[in-house]
Chain A
Amino acid sequence: MSITRNDDLAIDVKDLDIAYMSGKLRVNVLENVSLQLRQGEVLGLVGESGSGKSTMAGVLLASLRTSSFVASGTVHLDGMDVFKLKGRELREFRASHVALVPQNAGAALTPTMRIGEQLEESFRLDATSSATRDARIRRSIELLDLVRLPNSSGALEKYPHQFSGGQQQRIGIAMALAARPKLLVLDEPTTGLDVVTQAAILDTLKRLHQELGMAMVMVSHDLGVIDKMCSRIAVFRRGRVVEEGETSLILREPSHPYTQGLLDSVPRITVPGIPPSLDDAAIDAFEHGATMPPREVSLYERVAPEKTASVLAIRGLTVDYDRKPKPGGAPTVLDFDLDVHAGEIVALVGESGSGKSTIANVVAGLQRRQSGELTLDTTTALAPTVAHRSKAVRRAVQMIFQNADTSLNPRRTVRDAITRPLRLFNVRGLSAEEALAEVGLPSGFTERLPGQLSGGQRQRVGIARAISARPSLVLADEIVSALDVSVQSSILRLMDRLARDNNLGFLFITHDLAVVRSVADRVVVLYLGRIVEEGTVSEIFGPVSHPYTSLLLASVIEVGDDHSETIAPGQDEVPAGPPARGCPFASRCPLVVEICRTTKPPVIEASSTHAIHCHVPVEKLRHSQTTSLRSATRFQQTS
């Protein structure tokens, strides 16, 4: 039997079926997949959760989940049939030919081993690099420098947990590159990282590919990331490849309705409005031979409400997690002001650790504050904790959570979840069925348990529970972040409708700028617990911004960008806490001047609604013209 063929192809997958047995039934995880990739090219695997794209990544390392098996087909890498390799052969193949950059390097690095040892393990077959201790250390530092890990020589003696998420990811990449693999497989390498960190890591990966020239396979749900990184793309849906080819071609003129739908449902930072959601049923019908309705991208553009009454006013809020103030430390949240009006969606934007969820918890009465006044519906002062709030106040403030998996009690039915607030707050004339109808769910769902619902449906139940109390203010913490993009836009539309119909004020907490652009009326940008900028959505996404907002906007990667912008080294290093004095952003700001480090920045009133907290004169805050130019061309592309 010949094990070698087609040496010029890095990857040659033929008619591959991967399956597992559920009882006596064979379930295909991958079905009839054929893919080819030439040496040195980059292939993107795109799809939603459960599409089989991660299984495909595993296949390329000859690794399957224990219950899965190759039902038919072959996988050749560099001409080698990988599923024919056994024992020592397989180990040596993995050690020399192919390497994985896992999604979460924090979990993929062995916690009890120093970084240096883990790196050396990966290149121990390389005789020259591993000959002497000095050579090994030299090679390890060289690898860490290659991935731009700060202070590379000091890193070897450290353990994985001593690095930030972004740094761990860089170490993971260094480890994968150590054996000079011919193929690098990256499984969602930047998912879960902050947007600036993501951009910086992708820059590094792109440079590494240009320098080292290995073939790469990149799994991602993010079309922008794929567009930036990959020369070829394969779109996965329910275990099948629905479309495959050159990235620029497929993303510009997708021929399969699923690819079209995916592209159309992504919100953009440059285009206002909520995109349409993906029509799964129509695509299913298409797969079975029906014709697809003509592609039509109708963005729904939300209109901010007229001046209405305030539902929440926060003045001078300060929160400190440390009971005893540390020298050199500063409160988690300082001097925070915010207004939410009836029917208005106010977005609170920031990276992880910016204090945005802390603020939501203070408003909900779950986190104590050091100082600050909170006023509900213009008249009622909000007591610091839930225990001191009247039933009417508790009813008026409701929460929706990020993770629909944990926001509903898995042991109690949908009806239980919804009727409890109805009874507790004496809401009359509303049944569980009606509450479900308000969020677009059939009444038959009342007897289901959360485990029997999809992620999007669970999130709708969470919303129904909140709004059935008939609140005036809803705290929505990252409520679409865990959802697939096709479900995301339907939840955003629901949010918009509820704000309008029920005159609800939303405090919408998120890190996703494109989502903000599509649904928010006003935006507050938070950095290390301090407001750096606030304004209407068009002002925040307009030409004049705080340097931090500009950095965030520049870091967003979208389909159709020219992908030439790069993040300067060190810009993704977030300090552990805010400085005691001066501007919180001073340590990362490209426009920093001396005064920034000593004095609290003044508020620049760019307009009556647009405030920027910065020492730099407003003329200098206008960011480069390219962004606005880019947005103009892109708008034509999509509509």
Chain B
Amino acid sequence: MLTRFILPRLGWAVVTILLATILVFGAMQALPGDAATQILGQNATPDAVATLRRQLGLDQSPVERFVTWLGNAVTGNFGTSLVSGQPVGPEVGRALLNTSILAGITIVVGFSLALALGLVAGLFRDRWLDSLISTVALVGMSIPEFIVATLLVLAFSIAIPIFPAVVVAGENASLADLGPAMTLPALSLMFVASAYIIRMMRTSVIDVMETEYVHTARLKGISTSRLVFRHVVPSAILPTLNVVAMNIAWLIGGVVVVESIFNYPGMGSLMIRSVQSRDLPTILLITVVGAMTFVICNLLADLAATLLNPRLRYPRNSK
């Protein structure tokens, strides 16, 4: 199991992360002006710039620099931020933790609700309940996060002021500070991320309901609850897992808009700041974390699919 399933995928995961990093590193090389001029400003003397370049290792070729970065990265040293001069590891770590809390709430509450709604919509296909759920999902798919967030702020911070519109605590906010402020961001994310899960679950429930084995099970005269939970759900949830995995990766890597609107100190806000200040070490670490999340989520989805799907768990010996 371990060697057959996990190892090759782990190998590919590493290659994927590496390629993603190279892509971002390569793109950043095309920037006009480098970090040294960026830090010292336009009016710095050429000497000062040259000195800083040497200190930062910018006088080496891009390939050399990437290899150096990679060598350090493997040992856990991702360099220092060009803006703050602090190691990027802890900084990104703090942001990741904050985003994970937000994502965690969204995943636990939002996704389980979405799976249930999708199941209900699929079972009551083309009836009013389905139409209602499907319409909500369609709206969720169609409205950008910034609109959802803006409207939520309009409703719950301005019209009925019960939640704060922004997180004022800033960078070093504690959990208690973040608590009430997290409600609106989490709601925005839930609404947007659940839409695809609802639709996928609905579609795959409908698919499974039409299979011959569900037809046969129905002809056996078993109860509806047994039919749904033993025959339909285990098969229907399999394709949905991939959409769930994609959404989790998206939550960790790209809640940029929501975080920026609510000034939430997570990965998204950090991403915008470091891109604006062209802080390559931070950007690279964010890329690594983002790609890693993507890869791990897909890996977990595959693993879960294998555990849930007996065809993969017990392959036939022949052929």
Contact = CB atoms under 8 A, between A and B. Distances in A.
Interface of A: 61, 63, 90-96, 99-100, 102, 104, 107-113, 117, 121-122, 124, 158-159, 161-162, 175, 179, 576-577
Contact of A113 (B218, B219, B230, B316): B230
B314 A91 contact: no
Interface in B169-225: 211-223
Nearest to B210: A66
Interface in B305-319: 308-311, 314, 316-319
A100 B217 CA distance: 10
B319 A111 contact: no
Given A104-B212, A112-B235, A121-B226, A93 B314 contact: no
A94 to B, nearest CB: 3
A110 B213 contact: yes
Nearest to A175: B220
B219 A63 contact: yes
Given A110-B213, A111-B310, A179-B220, 4 more contacts: A91-B223, A94-B221, A112-B235, A161-B314
Contacts of B318: 576-577
B231 A113 contact: yes
24 contacts: A63-B215, A63-B218, A63-B219, A91-B221, A93-B221, A95-B220, A100-B219, A104-B212, A107-B211, A108-B212, A108-B213, A109-B213, A109-B216, A111-B311, A112-B231, A113-B230, A113-B231, A121-B226, A124-B222, A159-B310, A159-B311, A161-B314, A576-B318, A576-B319
Contacts, number: 78
Contact of B216 (A90, A95, A100, A576): A100
B234 interface: yes
Contacts of A93: 221
B119 to A, nearest CB: 15
A99 B310 CA distance: 26
Nearest to A108: B216
Count chain A CB atoms within 10 A of each CB in B213, B222, B311, B316 and give the residue with the most: B213
A161 B211 contact: no
Count chain B CB atoms within 10 A of each CB in A93, A104, A113 and give the residue with the most: A113
A475 B234 CA distance: 44
Contacts of B231: 110, 112-113
Contact of A161 (B217, B220, B310): B310
Contacts of B215: 63, 108
A121 B222 contact: yes
B212 A102 contact: yes
B310 A112 contact: yes
Contacts of B308: 112
Nearest to B312: A161
A100 B235 CA distance: 22
Nearest to B310: A159
Nearest to B231: A110
A111 B222 CA distance: 17
Interface string B117-128: 000000000000
B314 A102 contact: no
A179 to B, nearest CB: 8
Contacts of B218: 63, 94
B221 A96 contact: yes
B130 to A, nearest CB: 15
A110 B318 CA distance: 21
Contacts of A112: 231, 234-235, 308-310
Nearest to A178: B220
B213 A111 contact: yes
B310 A91 contact: no
Given A110-B231, A112-B234, A61 B219 contact: yes
Contacts of A91: 221-223
B235 A102 contact: no
B317 A161 contact: no
